[in-house]
C-alpha cells in the first residue's frame, strides 16, 4: 500500500520541510479537527498499551492463570502492546500531519513492525482456535494434548515466522520490485511511502487468508459441538447425575465459554483487518488509485483492533476485572498476591 503525501497542490503550498528541496507537500487540518484526530488516535494507542499491559501482568503474575492457553493469550497481548508502543504513535503523527518526521530508516522499521505484529496476531489467533477446538471437543484429555511445551512452540513459531517474513520483505526491497518508477516519482523528503507489488500483495493476503480459513472452520465446528453438548447437558439435568458427569458438564461449560469469548476476539480481528487486505489487493492491481484517506481510515481500523481484545476480556471474564482492580490498587505488590484466587466470588484483602 502506498501512503502518499504528494497529492494535488493547494493554492498556498505547505511543505513538510520548508527549507529542503524535494520536500513532501503537507496537508494541514484546521485546529479543531486536528485536536479531535490526535485525541482519537492517541486514545487508541493508550488503550492498546495499558489494556494489553494489564493482560500480560495478570497472566504472568497470578499463578492461577498460568496455563498453556493463557500464555498464548499473553503473547497475543504482547503483539498488541507493541503495536500501541512502536507503531501507533508514529502513525498518529503521520496521519494528522501528513508527513513523516522520523527518518527513512525508521520508516522501514515502522512498516516491518506493522507487518510483523499483524501476522504474529493472526498466527496466535489461529493457534488459539486450535487450542479451543481440542478443549471443547475433548476437554478431559485436553491437558495432556496442549501442554506448556506445545504452547511455547506455537508462540515461538508465530513470532519467528512473522518477524522474519516482514523484515526480510521490506529491508530486501522485494516488496517494490517492478515499481521503481512509481516509487521514484512518489519519493520526497518527509514521506514514508511503502509500495507492495502484485506478487507480494497476494502472498500477504494468503498469509492472512489461510489461517483465517482455519479459524473459521474450527470455530464453526466448535459451536456445533458446543450446541450438542448443551443439549446433552440439558437432557441430563432432569436425571440424577453422578459426580463424574457433573464434573464433565462443568468442564464443558467452561471451555465453551472460553471458546465463545475468543471467537468474538477472532471476529473483531477479521472485521478490522479484512477490509485493509482487500483494499491492498485492489490498489495493487488497479495502479494504486485509491485515495490516501481511505488507506488512513482502514489502517486505523486495524490499529484499533489492538485495543479491542482487553476490552473483550474485561467484558466477558470476571477474573480479568478482578486482576485489573488488584493491579490498579497496587495490591499485586503485597506478599503472596500471586496466589490470590481470582475465580472466587470474593477476594480477601491482603494484609
Residue 350 is predicted with a pLDDT of: 40
Q: Is residue 91 part of a domain?
A: yes
C-alpha cell, 247? 464434573
Q: Is residue 11 part of a domain?
A: no
State yes or no: pLDDT of 45 exceeds 90. Answer: yes
Among 220, 234, 229, CA closest to 251: 229
Q: Is residue 9 part of a domain?
A: no
Q: What is the mean pLDDT of residues 102-128?
A: 93
pTM of the model as a whole = 0.86
Higher pLDDT, 203 or 225: 203
Q: Is residue 76 part of a domain?
A: yes
Q: Is residue 334 part of a domain?
A: yes
Q: Is residue 13 part of a domain?
A: no
Q: Assign 147 to helix, strand or coil.
A: coil
Higher pLDDT, 192 or 346: 192
State yes or no: pLDDT of 345 exceeds 70. Answer: no
Quote the domain boundaries for residue 246. 31-339
Residue 123 is predicted with a pLDDT of: 94
State yes or no: pLDDT of 186 exceeds 90. Answer: no
CB-count burial class (<10 Å; 0-12, 13-18, 19+) for 317: middle
Domain count within the chain: 1
Residue 254 is predicted with a pLDDT of: 63
C-alpha cell, 15? 511543505
Which residue reads 481510515 in cell numbers? 297
Q: Is residue 23 part of a domain?
A: no
State yes or no: pLDDT of 141 exceeds 70. Answer: yes
Which DSSP string do the residues of 114-138 spell out, in sequence order? HHHHHHHHHHHHHHHHHHHHHHHHS
The string of pLDDT tens digits covering residues 289-300 is 888 889 889 999
Rounded distance, CA 72 to CA 124, Å? 7
Assign residue 293 the CATH number of its domain. Answer: 1.20.1070.10
Q: Confidence class of residue 223 from pLDDT cuts 50, 70 and 90?
A: confident
Percent of the chain with pLDDT over 90: 48
Q: Is residue 180 part of a domain?
A: yes
State yes or no: pLDDT of 246 exceeds 60. Answer: no
State yes or no: pLDDT of 247 exceeds 60. Answer: no
Amino acid at each position: 500500500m502506498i501512503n502518499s503525501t504528494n497529492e494535488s497542490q493547494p493554492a498556498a503550498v505547505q511543505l513538510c520541510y520548508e527549507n529542503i528541496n524535494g520536500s513532501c507537500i503537507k496537508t494541514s487540518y484546521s485546529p479543531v479537527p486536528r485536536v479531535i484526530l490526535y485525541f482519537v488516535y492517541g486514545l487508541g494507542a493508550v488503550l492498546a498499551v495499558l489494556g494489553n499491559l494489564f493482560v500480560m501482568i495478570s497472566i504472568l503474575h497470578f499463578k492461577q492463570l498460568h496455563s498453556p492457553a493463557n500464555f498464548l493469550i499473553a503473547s497475543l497481548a504482547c503483539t498488541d502492546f507493541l503495536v500501541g508502543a512502536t507503531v501507533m504513535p508514529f502513525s498518529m503523527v503521520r496521519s494528522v500531519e501528513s508527513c513523516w518526521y522520523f527518518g527513512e530508516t525508521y520508516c522501514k522499521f515502522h512498516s516491518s513492525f506493522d507487518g510483523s505484529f499483524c501476522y504474529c496476531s493472526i498466527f496466535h489467533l489461529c493457534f488459539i482456535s486450535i487450542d479451543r477446538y481440542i478443549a471443547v471437543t475433548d476437554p478431559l484429555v485436553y491437558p495432556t494434548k496442549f501442554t506448556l511445551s506445545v504452547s511455547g512452540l506455537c508462540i515461538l513459531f508465530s513470532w519467528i515466522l512473522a518477524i522474519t517474513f516482514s523484515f526480510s520483505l521490506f529491508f530486501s526491497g522485494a516488496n517494490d520490485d517492478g515499481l521503481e518508477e512509481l516509487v521514484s516519482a512518489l519519493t520526497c523528503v518527509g514521506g514514508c511511502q511503502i509500495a507492495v507489488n502484485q506478487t507480494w500483495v497476494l502472498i500477504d493476503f494468503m498469509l492472512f487468508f489461510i489461517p483465517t480459513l482455519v479459524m473459521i472452520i474450527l470455530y464453526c465446528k466448535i459451536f456445533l459441538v458446543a450446541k450438542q453438548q448443551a443439549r446433552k447437558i440439558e437432557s441430563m439435568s432432569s436425571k440424577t447425575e453422578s459426580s463424574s458427569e457433573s464434573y464433565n458438564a462443568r468442564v464443558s461449560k467452561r471451555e465453551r465459554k472460553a471458546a465463545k469469548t475468543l471467537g468474538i476476539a477472532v471476529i473483531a480481528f477479521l472485521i478490522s483487518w479484512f477490509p485493509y487486505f482487500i483494499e491492498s489487493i485492489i490498489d495493487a492491481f488497479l495502479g494504486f488509485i485509491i485515495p490516501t484517506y481511505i488507506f488512513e481510515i482502514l489502517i486505523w481500523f486495524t490499529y484499533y483492533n489492538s485495543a479491542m481484545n482487553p476490552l473483550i476480556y474485561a467484558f466477558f471474564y470476571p477474573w480479568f476485572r478482578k486482576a485489573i482492580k488488584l493491579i490498579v490498587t497496587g495490591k499485586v505488590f503485597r506478599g503472596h498476591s500471586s496466589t490470590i484466587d481470582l475465580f472466587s466470588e470474593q477476594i480477601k484483602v491482603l494484609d
